[in-house]
Structure 1
Amino acid sequence: MARENVRPPHHHDLDRSIAIAKILMLCFIAEHNLPFLLADHFTELCRNMFPDSEIAQSLHMKRTKCSEMAKQFGNKIHDDVVSQLRINKFFISDRHETDVSTTKCLSVLVKYFDSHGGTIKTRLLDLIDVYENHSSNVGSSGESLFEMIMHILNSNNIPLNNLVGLAADGASNIMGAYNSLSSRLRQHLSDLKIFKCTCHSIHLCASEASKVLPRQCEDLLRNIYTRFSHSAKRKYEFLQFQKLFSLKPHKLLHVSQTRWLSLHQAVERVLEQWEALKQYFVSIEGVEKLRSINLIVNDLNDPSIYAYFNFLNFILPFCNNFNLLFQRETPTIYLVHFHVNRLYKNTIQYFCRNEIVNKSKIEHFDPSQEVNHIPLSNIYLGDSVHTLLQKEEYYKNVDMVADIRRRCRLFMIKLCEEIKKRFQLQDDLWEMASLFNPEKVLDPTTRDVMPSLAPLVAKVPRLYDGDLQTLDNEWRHLDSTPIPLDITPQTYKPVDFYLKLGSYKFDNTYLFKSVATFALNILALPVTNTDAERLFSKLNLIKTDVRNSLSIDSVKALTYISESVKEQGCCYNFQPSENLMNIL
């Protein structure tokens, strides 16, 4: 009888295999946004795979146990992130938004250079319900957000000295001068660096500039979308007109005040379908006899509205391309200075005198002064508009053409003014960070522009606490030390380039360890809040109408797991640690 109670040796391997299977199942659930009910199928699968195993046959795991396992898994990943923040400099991004169950969540993300893994990471630190926190204040006021973030950092024993900066959009409760999250953080950490999201800022620039155009432009976009948005019959009827004009059966798009790039996408789609839309609405105007249909027909037959749409289709892609550049997950801090100034100067040159622009300091140039403008008839509004204005229905209507040109110039003036307002064109940090472009850092003239890194360290004082002379010595020696031919910007991406540079040894001595680590921390500086936007897109996939009862803890755990899986490629590549095996 005693021998029957002894577990055979293979039971340990089977126990381990089932633990791995549990982990992979949780990874699969998190990666593909599946319900915890999948645990029922997993249990049945294990029993069928190992019919002679008592361990497998005694396995019981349904929705509740699966949820608890996910939370334990997520807590382990959270602990790993916290341990990294205790030894690395990091930045915080935050965003609060209401989910499908009307729970208002605050997500706190951290971005840091992982010196051990050799990568720049963005990870979720915490996700909390702003109306069920344990601070003295609730809601999303600046004071409440500050207390929640400080509670997260202190409760996890994360040193405040490692917090370098905050990145967020321009909401008043976060970026306001008084009683905001950023103002309160600066009161406690005076040298903290605050970054406004460049993508959000350029979106607001384009949105504000669009307001100087006739209101009918935006109304037309919204009215057309509203006509088709909830009617399969109307979509089918319009499909016949698309076929008649040999157009692709594309949907009409919605203009969103919060979704970046949506204005240009909607304008481009309406222009593509313009003739089909015109004929469709003309055909139903006499049948339905609605005021909204009359307005749409009038606008589609208005040559000035068509010209404005073509102008927007010309000018908005410049803003969108800027936006897309900085939505990338790779480092972009070294690109900001060049591209902000390029967008501003290119826009100015469409309606201002080049000789005046080239003689002026760009940050002091006033685009609204008429003395700087070229004649109204010579401003550049894009090839499509130029071609349109040569047609008889335009050039015979002198007043209409003059008004089109005047309003389009106002759009560009407003766009430039908003760029100057929301961006510092000659921001010292952006300008100095641009020198860490791998294509510039090995250029000897770079040391002529910035002979010492002391001014850059002073801009972000919390980022570097080592010996400044050692840093400067390595920075200066980049000109005089022969760098191996395989360490080139053309061979490696920015992060890999500096990792390779930092690992370069001569006579068993690292020659550029400090400057490479400093450069990697500079590259980790957040210039956008797109990571928080992506996170909330992920949360909306996790917590849906079907899974609207998921608790904040479950959503947070699934997000932790999903991020960890993504870091390793996919759930099939996930390598669980021994600590994680023991937990599950």
Structure 2
Amino acid sequence: MDKWLIRESENKKLQQVLIMALVMMSIIPIHNNNNNNSGEGTAIDKGEGRASVPTAVVGLPNNECETQELHELEITNNNSDNLMVVENLIDDELGHCSPSKRLKVHANIKQKSAQHTIRLSKFCNSWLKEPEFAKWLAKSKRQKKGHEYALCKICNCDIIAHRNDIRRHSVSEKHKYNYNTIVNATQDTNFLTVDDSIKRAELKLCSLLASNNISFLFMDTLCPLMSDIFPDSKIASSIAMKRTKATTVLKENLASVFKNELYEIVAKPGQFFSLIMDETTDRATKKQCAFTIIYFCEKSNKVVTKFFDMIEMNGSNASELYKCLKQVIVEKNIPFSNLVGFSSDTTNVMFGEHNSVYTLLKSDLPNVVCVKCSCHMIHLAASKACKILPRSVEDLLRNVGSHFNRSSGRTERFKEFQEFFNTEIHKILLPAMTRWLSMKQCVDRILEQYDPLEAYFREEVFRDPSKTTEEILDTFSNKFTRMYLEFMSYILGLLTEFNKLFQFEVPMFHKLKSESQLLLNTLSSNYIKSDFLRNMNVFDLDHKNPNIFCSLDNIYLGIAANESLAELKQNASEKDISIFFKKLSTILY
């Protein structure tokens, strides 16, 4: 019986020593069996590896914060100093025990220390609602070995996510000084955030630049000017934005937001859309391809057209272009099957019969609708028809424009002739190489300045003769050149007005048939007998049937051309007039 009591007392002694060792090693918190919540803890600080070790009894948690603090105990398992203290304590307390018993206790403590899971400091969101922390505390993005940190927005520093550490920082001299400085500088309770009205104004200014194609350098002048003009406006005086910030806000913030919103809309199943694809035609070394999307917006309840994307290309053949088309859709997680319409210019690489973007797209999406660019087709029709005209007329437009282009001396000398003939001081335009309808403005300008130009080139040939200036003068001296230009102005004017129908920002499908019918009626009435036009639908007319054509004398060339022709008939030979009508009839027929 005595041996049993001695062994029982030794076991209790070993348990007490083991518990004391675990406490000193900061491995486990001790809970009072009597649920006494009045115990206090002692913090042992050792830098970042500090461990909060309770030396008295800690009660069970009663709320979220107390539960959080139990999880906030930072434990260091590899603390050699604590381990040495524990071993010395065991040797002192168990000196009367056998060596094997003491070794067993040492091994048990080391095993429990190695197996114990480290408790990490976690940020408690309820701290943000407490009055003493709400104004300046936030959760930090910093983490170290799984431990979370709190952020002081006033001092801009991180604090370990522990209530005592946060309170200790709040009463520090540094925090008090920074807090008082901000409070004295402004009475705004929201001093930590930028006013939403100022943000809104800055974003709208950036949107203004983008929507109106204004240079970012304009912001260097606009913002100081607004502050000076509106001194009583808090918003205008608080805007701090120049070209660098405006560029960053537009590219990094607004652009990404708008694009992501668009991509989310068209990525929905059943949200069908069409794409317009066009590659750049400039002289840059890098080729780019722009995409415009057309889809039905449920929010606005209408069909909208928006910029989709612009990417750089390595090549310009059909396979490379189709690869870019597919990539620009798939990489945004948009179902390729949502594409139901495709449009582009009428080049062979886009709409060729055998190997083109059109054929590759049809192989993957048989039901996709492919429509050629209407504007481009109108340009091609005008360009092909005007090839019947004498080559000298088109050369005249280009050579005259090139003669005055980037030459201030020639422009100044030509002003003298403009003043002498009492014409408007207008610049001579250079026609675009890729758009034939741009000839309309050039033709009108040449007709406006016809007499001053003819006189100018007469002097230019005498002063500095060259082959180009002599050809220009010969064309101006031709009696029929003015009539050709007047006829071109009339015909190109009809096509230009029809082309504007396809440049509206809103759909104009309801006007397409009526406008097409009006254009065909106008063109047909110039050379087809009126009886056939009154009795038949213009869409059913055989425009190549010579039996319904008017005679050459009755062909309508426009008001200006007909007046010039009436004057010319008195001075020109019938042979020249007949040749003129035959060339024009080739265009109309």
Of 431, 446, 455, the match for 1:279: 455
Aligned residues: 400
SS in 2 for 1:391: helix
Summarize the Cα distance change of 1:14–1:359 in structure 2 as closer, same or farther, 3 Å threshold. closer
Query: Counterpart amino acid of 1:277?
Result: L
Query: Counterpart amino acid of 1:379?
Result: I
Summarize the Cα distance change of 1:161–1:235 in structure 2 as closer, same or farther, 3 Å threshold. same
- Measured in 1, the distance between the counterparts of 2:451 and 2:531 equals 42
Of 557, 569, 572, the match for 1:381: 557
Summarize the Cα distance change of 1:85–1:412 in structure 2 as closer, same or farther, 3 Å threshold. same
- Measured in 2, the distance between the counterparts of 1:17 and 1:284 equals 63
Q: Is the 8 Å Cα contact of residues 113 and 119 (structure 1) preserved in structure 2?
A: yes
SS in 1 for 2:310: strand
Shift, 1:258, TM fit: 2.1
Residue 117 (structure 1) aligns with: 300
Residue 92 (structure 1) aligns with: 275
SS in 1 for 2:547: helix
- Measured in 2, the distance between the counterparts of 1:127 and 1:37 equals 24
Q: Is the 8 Å Cα contact of residues 168 and 174 (structure 1) preserved in structure 2?
A: yes
Which has the larger Rg? 2
- Measured in 1, the distance between the counterparts of 2:542 and 2:570 equals 31
Query: Counterpart amino acid of 1:184?
Result: L
- Within-5 A mapping of 1:385-424: 385-391=561-567, 394=570, 396-413=572-589
TM-score by length of 2: 0.61
- Within-5 A mapping of 1:276-315: 276-315=452-491
5+ residue gaps in structure 1? 50-55, 132-138, 414-584
Shift, 1:234, TM fit: 0.9
Residue 210 (structure 2) aligns with: 30
Residue 256 (structure 1) aligns with: 432
Shift, 1:38, TM fit: 7.9
- Measured in 2, the distance between the counterparts of 1:340 and 1:12 equals 62
Query: Counterpart amino acid of 2:349?
Result: N
Q: Would you say 1:171 and 2:351 are equivalent positions?
A: no
Residue 512 (structure 2) aligns with: 336
Of 282, 288, 292, the match for 1:105: 288
Q: Would you say 1:229 and 2:229 are equivalent positions?
A: no
SS in 1 for 2:566: coil
Q: Is the 8 Å Cα contact of residues 389 and 395 (structure 1) preserved in structure 2?
A: no
SS in 1 for 2:194: helix
Structure having greater relative contact order (Cα 8 Å, sep ≥ 6): 1
- Measured in 1, the distance between the counterparts of 2:516 and 2:486 equals 24
Query: Counterpart amino acid of 1:200?
Result: H
- Measured in 2, the distance between the counterparts of 1:390 and 1:36 equals 56
Q: Would you say 1:145 and 2:321 are equivalent positions?
A: yes
- Measured in 1, the distance between the counterparts of 2:558 and 2:578 equals 16
Of 258, 261, 285, the match for 1:77: 258
Summarize the Cα distance change of 1:370–1:18 in structure 2 as closer, same or farther, 3 Å threshold. closer
- Measured in 2, the distance between the counterparts of 1:34 and 1:380 equals 46
Summarize the Cα distance change of 1:227–1:61 in structure 2 as closer, same or farther, 3 Å threshold. closer
Shift, 1:45, TM fit: 11
Summarize the Cα distance change of 1:275–1:34 in structure 2 as closer, same or farther, 3 Å threshold. closer
Q: Is the 8 Å Cα contact of residues 569 and 577 (structure 2) preserved in structure 1?
A: no
Residue 125 (structure 2) aligns with: none
Query: Counterpart amino acid of 1:75?
Result: S
SS in 2 for 1:113: strand
Summarize the Cα distance change of 1:33–1:331 in structure 2 as closer, same or farther, 3 Å threshold. closer
Shift, 1:370, TM fit: 2.6
5+ residue gaps in structure 2? 1-172, 184-188, 231-236
Structure having the higher helix fraction is 1
Shift, 1:4, TM fit: 4.7
- Measured in 1, the distance between the counterparts of 2:225 and 2:568 equals 74
Query: Counterpart amino acid of 2:361?
Result: L
Shift, 1:371, TM fit: 2.5
Summarize the Cα distance change of 1:234–1:44 in structure 2 as closer, same or farther, 3 Å threshold. closer
Deviating more after overlay: 285-294 vs 386-395 = 386-395
Note the alpha carbon deviations across 1:432-476, whole angstroms, 9 max, x for none. Answer: xxxxxxxxxxxxxxxxxxxxxxxxxxxxxxxxxxxxxxxxxxxxx
Shift, 1:66, TM fit: 5.1
Shift, 1:319, TM fit: 0.6
Q: Is the 8 Å Cα contact of residues 293 and 308 (structure 2) preserved in structure 1?
A: yes
Q: Is the 8 Å Cα contact of residues 526 and 555 (structure 2) preserved in structure 1?
A: yes
Q: Would you say 1:355 and 2:535 are equivalent positions?
A: no
Identity %: 26
Q: Is the 8 Å Cα contact of residues 307 and 404 (structure 1) preserved in structure 2?
A: no
- Within-5 A mapping of 1:380-529: 380-391=556-567, 394=570, 396-413=572-589
Summarize the Cα distance change of 1:16–1:343 in structure 2 as closer, same or farther, 3 Å threshold. closer
- Measured in 2, the distance between the counterparts of 1:261 and 1:237 equals 29
Q: Would you say 1:243 and 2:423 are equivalent positions?
A: no
Query: Counterpart amino acid of 2:364?
Result: H
Query: Counterpart amino acid of 1:274?
Result: Y
- Measured in 2, the distance between the counterparts of 1:69 and 1:303 equals 57
Summarize the Cα distance change of 1:392–1:79 in structure 2 as closer, same or farther, 3 Å threshold. closer
Query: Counterpart amino acid of 2:252?
Result: K
Q: Is the 8 Å Cα contact of residues 483 and 564 (structure 2) preserved in structure 1?
A: yes
SS in 1 for 2:192: helix
Deviating more after overlay: 32-41 vs 379-388 = 32-41
Deviating more after overlay: 372-381 vs 266-275 = 372-381
Residue 565 (structure 1) aligns with: none
Q: Is the 8 Å Cα contact of residues 217 and 242 (structure 2) preserved in structure 1?
A: no
Query: Counterpart amino acid of 1:189?
Result: L
Alignment RMSD: 3.4
- Within-5 A mapping of 1:364-379: 365-379=541-555
Query: Counterpart amino acid of 1:27?
Result: S
- Measured in 1, the distance between the counterparts of 2:246 and 2:470 equals 60
Summarize the Cα distance change of 1:295–1:394 in structure 2 as closer, same or farther, 3 Å threshold. farther
Q: Is the 8 Å Cα contact of residues 39 and 66 (structure 1) preserved in structure 2?
A: no
Summarize the Cα distance change of 1:82–1:385 in structure 2 as closer, same or farther, 3 Å threshold. same
Summarize the Cα distance change of 1:153–1:354 in structure 2 as closer, same or farther, 3 Å threshold. same
TM-score by length of 1: 0.62
Summarize the Cα distance change of 1:244–1:185 in structure 2 as closer, same or farther, 3 Å threshold. same
Q: Is the 8 Å Cα contact of residues 111 and 120 (structure 1) preserved in structure 2?
A: yes
Query: Counterpart amino acid of 2:267?
Result: R
Summarize the Cα distance change of 1:332–1:247 in structure 2 as closer, same or farther, 3 Å threshold. same
Query: Counterpart amino acid of 2:330?
Result: N
